[in-house]
Amino acid sequence: MPNSQTHKHMYSLARELQKLALMFSILAGLAGASAHAAQLKPETAAAFEHYAAATEARMDEDVRLNQFLIIDHLPDLQRKDAYDQLQQGQIYIEELYTREDHHTIHIPSGLVHHWVGVIFIPKATLAEADAVLNDFKDEPEIYKPDIRKARLIEQNGSGSKIYLQFYSKTLVTVVLNAYFDVVETRLGSTRIQSASRSTRVAEVEGWGSPDEHERPEGNDHGYMWRLNSYWRIEEKDGGAYVENESITLTRTVPTLLAWLINPLTKSIPHDVLVHTLTNTRDAVVKVEAAPKQDGLSQESPDPKKPLQKSTVRP
């Protein structure tokens, strides 16, 4: 069976495509953008890689400073409040902005979406949470129609190469063939982290027709040009914390429509993270409860509890 990072990567990507396809299909319907291709420029791709590298440097520093989860960065009282709310079944969500020397990292001719979310699963262990994130073979069925195809191309120790085909139908149908390098790292006996980095994303033209073919990479509608996804699991406090952080590169939004589209770039990722993390928690709780046949029920947090208000880190 493929190792755990494969599933973790697929899980976040299905939701990422869903939100971006919705946002840009609205854009297409309003501005006729579906008729015009956007081009991924070399300087845009290079800026995204720079942004991702700076973000990963921060993650490495997090581990060194024992600030494994994003909420560990918060001041003492806010951090305690965040942990309390997570243990009550709420979900912590935050929009992030990676900076260098307190300056914004400019992405010319592109737009970066950077979000993180955390949940807590009472009584779950590191192994149980990781097992759910390792259920690769069932992904196309569990998450259809978001994921139509999945294939492990290569596996070498803690690293793997995977292929995924994503499907989303809103105002327009979007199909993407995507390839990723994935690496998982175990940090001691209570922590696991994984990093999934896209190596190629191609939009499929004429999907389902005899003329179905891939558009040239980076010369398409710009629904998703790049995606890096990072998962962290930590076992403590009588359960497991699960965190997802994602960085996505898309086309820019036309100035005349920014007033309508820009709010969607915040509300849609927020809602997608809620569903993604809630579904993860529900799946782990199901695995955790499955062996119990003695009639004892195991309570799980209510995923419909009010959410903590999202915050934007300076």
Q: What is the pTM of this model?
A: 0.78
Tell me the mean pLDDT in the region 189-201: 94
- Written as one string, the DSSP assignment of 239-294 is EEEEEEEEEEEEPPPPGGGHHHHHHHHHHHHHHHHHHHHHHHHHHHHHHHHTT--S
Per the model's pLDDT, the better-predicted residue between 42 and 156 turns out to be: 42
- The string of pLDDT tens digits covering residues 104-157 is 999 999 989 899 999 999 999 999 888 777 666 666 655 566 778 878 888 888
**Please, what's the largest Cα pairwise distance for the chain?**
62
Comparing 146-150, 217-221, 234-238, 296-300, the range with the smallest average pLDDT is 296-300
Give a yes or no: residue 16 inside a domain. Answer: yes
User: Is the separation of the CB atoms in 98 and 54 below 8 Å?
Assistant: yes
In a domain, 303, yes or no: no
Q: What is the pLDDT of residue 19?
A: 55
**For residue 73, what are the contacts with CB-CB under 8 A and spacing of at least 6?**
62, 67, 79, 313
Q: Where are the alpha helices (DSSP H) in the chain?
A: 4-31, 42-64, 76-87, 126-132, 139-142, 258-289
Residue of 48, 41, 52 lying closest to 218 (CA atoms): 41
Q: Which residues contact residue 131 at a Cβ distance below 8 angstroms, ignoring those fewer than 6 apart?
A: 4, 287
Domain membership flag for residue 94: yes
Mean predicted lDDT score pLDDT of the chain: 78
| Nearest by Cα to 222 from 247, 246, 250 | 250
Local structure of 181: helix, strand or coil? strand
- Which range (14-28, 277-291, 292-306) has the least confidence? 292-306
d(CA 33, CA 141): 32
Domain that includes residue 59, residue range: 4-290
pLDDT score for 92: 94
- Considering its fold, how many domains does the chain have in total? 1
Q: Which residues of 161-194 are buried (b: 16+ CB within 10 A; e: fewer)?
A: bbebbbbbeeebebbbbbebbbebeeeeeebbbb
Domain with 123 in it: what CATH number? 3.30.530.20
Q: What is the pLDDT of residue 202?
A: 92
